[in-house]
Amino acid sequence: QVTKDDFQTFDYILCMDESNLRDLKRKSNQVKDCKAKIELLGTYDPQKQLIIEDPYYGNEKDFETVYEQCVRCCKAFLEKCH
């Protein structure tokens, strides 16, 4: 769970889909001095797959796909931001 302190502590809070993004932005509006930039992790995907679908009801391949997306996006995020 993301806490109110997280919005004041971290520079970025990255999420997987638009529902998460909407919820996090709504929660951040209730935090004084929010410093976190809230974004979709997929924003950094070199393959332009913006949304990272929840694989929970899928099969093993779906979990592998999500893992690959997350690795790509995290690598691109770290290269861009650091």
Amino acid at 37: K
Catalytic residue, chosen from 5, 23, 45, 54, is: 54
Active site residue 62: no
Residues 6+ apart with CB under 8 A from 6: 13, 36
Q: Is 76 helix (H, G, I), strand (E, B) or coil?
A: helix
Give which of 65, 45, 44, 42 is closest to 55, Cα–Cα: 65
Dihedral of alpha carbons 36, 6, 15, 68, sign? positive
By annotation, the residues acting in catalysis are 54
